[in-house]
Structure 1
Amino acid sequence: MAEELLLTASDKKGRYEEVLPQLVSVLEGETDRTANLANTAAILKEAFDFFWVGFYEVKSREGEAPQLVLAPFQGPLACTRIHYGRGVCGTAWAERRTLVVPDVDRFPGHIACSSLSRSEIVVPVFHPGTGEVVAVLDIDSRELSTFDETDRHYLEILSSHLSHLWA
């Protein structure tokens, strides 16, 4: 396992191309989901200096509908539970697709866990066998319009690498 990141690229695409192989190397051979999600959040936060990086897992309590429940993250205090179809995370879960939100204040029903968050990307993680959404990767920025198709592309690749954690 790498103990520190090698970060030399100054552009976003180059940074993702540096980070993804290092991240895959960190995940390789480790089967503990919590450890892998924690390291993934830490690596993305360090590499890109995002405001908040974390995961929400789909979980059910007896007698209740499934919800997204806070999992490993890096950043300030976060919302603990998010309902299906609510906010950016719940909508990405319901629609089974990545959502890039340039201005969270313009997203209908946005859940403001922090008023400092200005833009967001949420990437579903799919179970490798069933294809069901098992988690979402949520990343927030303090700046408007931080995320674009480059982020979507590389974070969806990362999501596919993480899916084995639910096999």
Structure 2
Amino acid sequence: MHTIQTGGTTKVEIYQEILPQIESLIRGEPDLTANLANISAVLKAAFGWLWVGFYLADHNRRELVLGPFQGPLACTRIPYGRGVCGQAWEKGTTIVVEDVNRHPDHIA
């Protein structure tokens, strides 16, 4: 079992410390689901965030489908252009929000 220990105090320092740990976890592992699950766990442990995870694009159905995550329950499917994640996919860019609960199209 791997443990995540960081001495960093800034996000940059923490990312610099966990990147080699993530690389060692996924090196040689071809399974996407396993790798995304471990990456989610590392990020949640390192930063203490409430929710960390991945949505995978289903281009045929034009929706995001819940992938591996750590945290409370999440939406299973997000339509293209809806919520923060769907809007980021539609725009092809990262969207940073201070408080997702205050986002006008937040999907709870």
TM (norm. structure 1) is 0.61
Quick one: which of 66, 86, 90 aligns to 1:70?
A: 66
Task: State the partner residue of 2:17.
Answer: 18
Which runs of no fewer than 5 residues in structure 1 stay unpaired? 113-167
Alpha-carbon shift at residue 8 of structure 1 (Å): 1.4
- Is residue 5–residue 46 contact of structure 2 (8 Å, CA) maintained in 1? no
2:3 is matched by which residue type in structure 1? E
Q: Is residue 89 of structure 1 aligned with residue 88 of structure 2?
A: no
Give 1 or 2: higher strand fraction: 1
Counterpart residue number, 2:4: 5
Aligned-residue CA RMSD (Å): 1.5
In the TM superposition, residue 27 of structure 1 has moved relative to its aligned partner by: 1.1
In the alignment, what sits opposite 1:47? 46
Deviating runs (4+, > 3 A) in structure 1? none
d(CA) in 2 for partners of 1:46 and 1:105? 23
What count of residue pairs does the alignment treat as equivalent?
108
Q: Distance in 1 between matches of 2:85 and 2:40?
A: 16
TM-score by length of 2: 0.91
Distance across 2 between alignment mates of 1:39 and 1:110: 27
Alpha carbons of structure 1 residues 105 and 4: separation in structure 2 relative to 1, 3 Å: closer
**Secondary structure of 1:50's aligned partner:** coil
Aligned counterparts of 1:66 and 1:37: Cα–Cα separation in 2: 21
Q: Could you list the runs of 5+ residues in structure 2 that have no partner in the other structure?
A: none
Contact 2:83 2:106 in 1 (8 A): yes
Q: Secondary structure of the equivalent of 2:96?
A: strand
Distance in 2 between residues matched to 1:97 and 1:18, nearest whole Å? 26
Alpha-carbon distance between aligned partners in 1 of 2:8 and 2:67, rounded to the nearest angstrom: 29
Deviation sequence 1:11-70 (CA, Å, 0-9, x none):
22211110112111211111000100000000000000000001111126xxx6321011
Paired residue for 2:94, among 98, 107, 110?
98
Supply the distance in 2 between the matched residues of 1:98 and 1:35 (Cα, whole angstroms): 24
